[in-house]
């Protein structure tokens, strides 16, 4: 265990997302609460997702839904140094300039690259996160590029196609 995340986070991911039939979602949440309190930013990120409701976690876990707690934990995860927290906050619209200044990364791309390495190592949550960054076109902000970054519309269109098409491979993994 502990290949991509701490043992507690990897076990919690299994209980909450990968082996839901075991009925151990509440135990997974407890693992995340303890690890978050001990400074594990990845635990804080996943725990934040637990508070986001059935759009992000199976309702059978019966986790409390609390958007304020989710936001607080997501911001905490970034302050605790979680690259995953940066990426999930970006996708969730919670990576404000003020929060971004608190992250221990030089830029969003540095956080993306850390999550990408974990995705390449086989972590399913990271694979899904990377897939989402391409599908929802977060790559513009991650790479700090826009239409004005390209000399022609054709170059810009090729950039879009190249990046958007990457989502499918990550979702299949």
- The structure tokens listed for 171 are 């979702």
- How confident is the model at residue 53, as a pLDDT? 84
- How confident is the model at residue 20, as a pLDDT? 79
- How confident is the model at residue 128, as a pLDDT? 94
> What separation, in Å, do the N-terminal and C-terminal C-alpha atoms of the chain show?
20
- The structure tokens listed for 48 are 């934040």
- How confident is the model at residue 22, as a pLDDT? 84
Which residue from 29, 91, 103 is spatially nearest to 66, judged by alpha carbons?
29
Report residues of the chain scoring pLDDT below 70.
Answer: 1-2
- How confident is the model at residue 106, as a pLDDT? 96
| CATH number for the segment(s) 7-172 | 1.25.40
């Amino acid at each position: 265990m502990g290949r991509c995340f701490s043992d507690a986070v990897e076990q919690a991911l299994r209980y909450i997302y990968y082996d839901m039939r075991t009925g151990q979602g509440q135990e997974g949440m407890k693992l995340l609460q303890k690890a978050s309190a001990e400074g594990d930013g990845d635990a804080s990120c996943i725990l934040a997702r637990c508070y986001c409701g059935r759009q992000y976690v199976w309702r059978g876990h019966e986790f409390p839904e609390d958007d304020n707690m989710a936001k607080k934990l997501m911001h905490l995860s970034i302050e605790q140094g979680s690259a995953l927290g940066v990426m999930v906050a970006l996708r969730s619209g919670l990576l404000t300039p003020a929060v971004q200044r608190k992250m221990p990364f030089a830029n969003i791309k540095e956080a993306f690259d850390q999550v990408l390495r974990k995705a390449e190592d086989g972590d399913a949550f990271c694979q899904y996160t990377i897939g989402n960054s391409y599908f929802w076109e977060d790559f513009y902000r991650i790479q700090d590029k826009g239409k004005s970054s390209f000399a022609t519309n054709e170059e810009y269109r090729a950039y879009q196609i190249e990046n958007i098409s990457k989502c499918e491979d990550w979702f299949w993994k």
